[in-house]
Amino acid sequence: MKKVLILEDEMNIRSFVVINLKRAGYEVIEAGTGQEALDRLQQYPDIGVAILDIMLPDMDGFEVCRRIRATNKQMGIIMLTARTQEMDKVTGLMTGADDYVTKPFSPAELTARIDALFRRMGGENTASAEVLTQGPFVMNTRNHTLEKNGERIRLTQVEYAIVKLFMQNPGRALSREDILSAVWGREYEGELKIVDVNIRRLRIKIEDDTNNPSYITTVWGLGYKWGA
Ligand code: CA
């Protein structure tokens, strides 16, 4: 389900938005402060659109927008502006927002704006196609990031490519040759050992217990598999 974040400290407006977005078929994540919104976005990296109010208890919506944009260029961002704050629209767009909706707004208007952003982000497959989720792992293939239980794991490009290959082939035994040609390219002439070395390093980064790996398991005589 497409996820939308609503950041609004006024409970009545927020509940109104939540009810209407749920009715429109979205999964809604709520936040009442800027910090809470940033935490939720970490927790749910597959949020496709964020709706940000401007007047908030801890920081203004522009600051939240700026901080989101510092790390995430793809997410759709809609600012909620008051009718009396005409300048907010310009400021909002300057800080990286995609759109704005002026209070008071109708549910249909807000939903239409959100739908438009999801469409612009890439048609049918939108956010879901860019996020691979398995067990505690969430991979964002646009940003090239991997999280385990909401915590970012820093990977090299090669490590990232290996995990992506695994996550796209869960439960399938992959030979060292498979991994080598998928990650390094078919023309790569190096040794198969480089696969093992990278797997060893990856296990240190992602396994709960490196001595008893449960995510990258060994298939004796062949290679490796994602999952037991
Ligand atoms: Ca407010």
- In angstroms, what is the span from residue 2 Cα to ligand 1's centroid? 24
- In angstroms, what is the span from residue 163 Cα to ligand 1's centroid? 41
- In angstroms, what is the span from residue 33 Cα to ligand 1's centroid? 9
- In angstroms, what is the span from residue 32 Cα to ligand 1's centroid? 9
Give the separation between CA 163 and CA 109, rounded to whole angstroms: 41
| Residue range 111-157, pLDDT digits in tens | 888 987 887 765 444 444 578 888 899 998 877 889 999 899 988 77
- In angstroms, what is the span from residue 121 Cα to ligand 1's centroid? 27
pLDDT of residue 35: 97
Q: Is the pLDDT of residue 103 over 90?
A: no
Give the separation between CA 59 and CA 145, rounded to whole angstroms: 27
Query: Considering only CA atoms, which of 171, 170, 167, 165 is closest in space to residue 184?
Result: 165
- In angstroms, what is the span from residue 81 Cα to ligand 1's centroid? 9
Q: What is the pTM of this model?
A: 0.54
Percent of residues, the chain, with pLDDT higher than 90: 50
pLDDT of residue 64: 96
Question: Which residues are 82's β-sheet partners?
Answer: 103
- In angstroms, what is the span from residue 37 Cα to ligand 1's centroid? 13
